[in-house]
Structure 1
Amino acid sequence: MKINLLHYITTSPEAAELACQGGVRWVQLRVKNQPYAVWKQIALETQAVCRRYGAMLLINDNPRLAQEIGADGVHVGQADMPAAEARAMLGANFIIGGTANTFADVQRLAAAGVDYVGLGPFRFTPTKENLSPTLGMAGYTEIMRQCEATGIVVPVIGIGGITLEDVAALKSTGLHGVAVSSAIGNAKAPAKMAGLFINELSAVISI
């Protein structure tokens, strides 16, 4: 399973379209506080965008919906369905990612058979409710050191307030890639910013 270097987190198909125009090929749809029918409609519209561009679509926090619409995968948070349960429900062909804030979280998710771990937050971000303690560069460095020391090889994606200027330094910790939302979605030219992230990640992070 090849995990993309850049994960784009969005709440709308329109934002996904702009990001995909810039080269994004991994979209995570995060919808909160909406009825299932509304969430499903947004997911289907975002899925149509992803299919036009050959991008992967992961549904945040809703394995049932991911299964129903035939999404490529699901991302489960710490308060959501356990990763092992999601795997049992969705099978081997679904991509499953999980959220981590500590090395113990990473260990647990790796043991559950996730395809990647979203580790964060790097710094404060207003796009996430109930934010876990921020890790900063020191936190990532230590957790990735522990992963290497214990032989954990699951791809780890940094997330939480990451900007383009952070990418080179984050690479030095051993992260596989980064997940961003506001840095692309709130940019004056989202497609252009997406392309800049992809170029920077491709230049400094080896797959």
Structure 2
Amino acid sequence: MTLDRFYPIFDSADWIERLVPLGIKLVQLRIKDAAPDVLRDNIQRAKRVCAQHGCTLIINDYWQAAIEAGCDYIHLGQEDLDDADIPAIRAAKLRLGISTHDKAELKRAMALAPDYIALGPIYPTILKKMKWHEQGLAKLSTWRELIGETPLVAIGGMSVDRAQGAFDAGADVVAAVTDITLNPSPEDRVRAWLRVTR
């Protein structure tokens, strides 16, 4: 399965319902600290709109909820891996993307034969406080060499203007978060992303 080059990440089904119909083909639902019923509702709504529009939905972190909802793709950070039941995830035939920041994390992730590897933050990000400083484009190129054919996702501080640089450095996919949701016109921003990634 080839991943689309544009990979927005949203924190609610509201965003997914609003923006996926514009032509997004790969999206992540990343909700933090949601009550189980709220989480289930968001996953079901996101699943519905993604199915209608031929968009691949990736659920962040909540692998049990993803299995229960019949999803087919999850994304796990390094902390998530500590608690995740990888055999159960594999048994459920879930595809798996994994975040990495350094070579030790990359080695751990690659041992799980992931469906993609994410590296970030490529640029400084306002999304969350991180112990990792910006990784830079050169590190993307290093990761490209290290992971072979595994798809590589660039994340962190990415914008429409920076996308091509990430592709040139070896990324297959560019993930965007606040560049869309904090834009005065998220719809126009998504259209701009689609133009530079298609």
- Looking at structure 2, the residues matched to 144 and 105 of structure 1 have their Cα atoms a distance apart, in angstroms, of 15
Match of 2:172 among 176, 195, 198: 176
Cα deviations across residues 107-131 of structure 1 (Å, max 9, x unaligned)?
A: 3322211100111011222223445
SS at match of 1:3: coil
Give the paired residue count.
197
- Aligned Cα RMSD in Å? 2.1
Q: CA deviation at 1:143?
A: 3.1
- Partner in structure 2 of residue 161 of structure 1: 157
- Partner in structure 1 of residue 98 of structure 2: 98
- Looking at structure 2, the residues matched to 103 and 22 of structure 1 have their Cα atoms a distance apart, in angstroms, of 37
- Looking at structure 2, the residues matched to 200 and 28 of structure 1 have their Cα atoms a distance apart, in angstroms, of 19
2:152 and 2:173 in contact (8 A); partners too: yes
Percent of aligned pairs with the same amino acid: 25
The yes-or-no answer on 1:198 pairing with 2:194 is: yes
Q: CA deviation at 1:162?
A: 0.3
- Of structures 1 and 2, the one with the larger relative CO (CA 8 A, separation 6+) is 1
2:76 and 2:96 in contact (8 A); partners too: yes
The yes-or-no answer on 1:7 pairing with 2:7 is: yes
Output the TM-score relative to the length of structure 1.
0.85
Task: Rate the CA distance shift 1:129–1:60 in 2: closer, same or farther, 3 A.
Answer: farther
Query: Runs of 5+ in structure 1 lacking a partner?
Result: 203-207
- Looking at structure 1, the residues matched to 142 and 121 of structure 2 have their Cα atoms a distance apart, in angstroms, of 14
- Looking at structure 1, the residues matched to 187 and 22 of structure 2 have their Cα atoms a distance apart, in angstroms, of 4
- Partner in structure 2 of residue 76 of structure 1: 76
Between 32-41 and 152-161, the greater mean CA deviation after superposition? 32-41
- Partner in structure 2 of residue 121 of structure 1: 121
